[in-house]
Amino acid sequence: MKFEDLGIIPPILRALKEKNYEEPTPIQAQAIPMVLKRNDLLGCAQTGTGKTAAFAVPIVQLVHRIESKEKGKPALRALIITPTRELAIQIGENLEAYSKHTIAKHAVIFGGVSQHPQVEKIKKGVHILVATPGRLLDLIDQGILRLDTIKLFVLDEADRMLDMGFIHDIRKILKLLPQKRQSLFFSATMPDNIEKLSKSILSNPKKVEVSPVSSTAETVQQLLYYTNRTSKKDLLLHILENPHMNQVLLFARTKRGADRIARNLSKKKIKAAAIHGDKSQNQRQKALKQFKEGSVRVLVATDIAARGIDIDKLQYVINYDIPNIAETYVHRIGRSGRAGEEGCAISICEPEENVYIKDIERLTRQRIKIINDHPFPQTDSPMTPQEKREWNMEKQRRKKEFFANRKKRNTRSRV
């Protein structure tokens, strides 16, 4: 299948060529013609499958086709809602690339930064708006934005939206949209509450589904190192001796942990930066930029901050800890081996985390390859009193997190 076979207009085909996209990914091949034919769409796909282009390309095309005839200030025609600022920025970057040779204009709005430049851009007129829910509602409340001219609506990462507590905001936004519109709905997972929400948004949708969350990307090699808690630091340095690992996304469970790992690596002259919720927007963008350019070798991230990071051809992911929720593992390793590229996910497991590996293998129905040949194998050596205290605190924290998540899940299933 070629992009030329999907009904895409020449200016966008040119832009895709300039982005070195050779052929459409499965979700693009399925979704693009459906959206161009003005169908509603229910897409079950996670990041890394090429889902952004699957909705952004046809939106740019529809806007270009329809709005080329219009004169005067552009009217807002498409709204894309996404949960995090990182995702919003990345969708904006994709729109920028795909719309390069078209008349389609877009803006990206998100909270945590001054609204002024965003408002200036909107006031000049845009056809496509990418927004996080909070900032969008804020600008609507201030009378700066209206949604009554929207013809295309995209809800991206719906499951994440609900996880982050955006359900009320989404309901408010839906009320402000015209009834007559085309809607696209994307989610990595489709539990009952998400399906119910999709039904309230879509009308007679076409469905596309690629790599459900339990199927890890086939191109990702998964490796597992068993070690002790105290040896993780040294084992990480040992793993990073591999000179091929020049761009590594490393996951840490906590914000403090992320900072500590980045600090330890920097002390050993390994260029590292941490991104997490306590970092300012500027700090996060700077770290991401340096990582993309190659001046930072290891980007240490918490799960929420890493969600939506879009790095072409990211090859290595390291799990410095094993997530206690198996789906999180699948999301993490989905960051490597994107769009058909090869990837490698390395997990570092301490004794208390062995049980999580079992959960993961059950979910993915795959055995992770164990690497025994390394200098820091797992032993049953007793913990020092300090380690024991830390571990007990960590256990308490995880227990709390587990019950909080369960409560959230129960609340959500009632939504």
Which residues are at the interface with ligand AMP (CB under 6 A)?
Answer: 21, 24-25, 28, 47-53, 310, 312, 338-339
For ligand AMP, the closer of residues 228 and 336 by Cβ is 336
For ligand AMP, the closer of residues 53 and 326 by Cβ is 53
Tokens of 107: 């803006």
What are residue 278's phi and psi, to 5 degrees?
A: -85, -5
Shortest gap between Cβ of 7 and ligand AMP (angstroms)? Answer: 16
Strands of the 298-301 sheet, one edge to the other: 272-275, 298-301, 248-251, 316-319, 343-349, 220-226, 369-370
For ligand AMP, the closer of residues 21 and 110 by Cβ is 21
For ligand AMP, the closer of residues 51 and 284 by Cβ is 51
Shortest gap between Cβ of 189 and ligand AMP (angstroms)? Answer: 15
Buried b (16+ CB within 10 A) or exposed e, 388-408: eeeeeebeeeeeeeeeeeeee
For ligand AMP, the closer of residues 339 and 363 by Cβ is 339
Provide the greatest CA pair distance for the chain: 75
Shortest gap between Cβ of 53 and ligand AMP (angstroms)? Answer: 5
Beta strands in 104-211 (DSSP E): 106-109, 128-131, 152-155, 182-187, 206-209
Residue closest to ligand AMP, measured at CB: 52
Shortest gap between Cβ of 165 and ligand AMP (angstroms)? Answer: 23
Beta-carbon contacts of 383 under 8 Å, excluding residues fewer than 6 positions away, are 229, 391
For ligand AMP, the closer of residues 67 and 341 by Cβ is 341
Shortest gap between Cβ of 46 and ligand AMP (angstroms)? Answer: 7
Shortest gap between Cβ of 206 and ligand AMP (angstroms)? Answer: 19
CA distance 332 to 363: 14
CA distance 35 to 294: 36
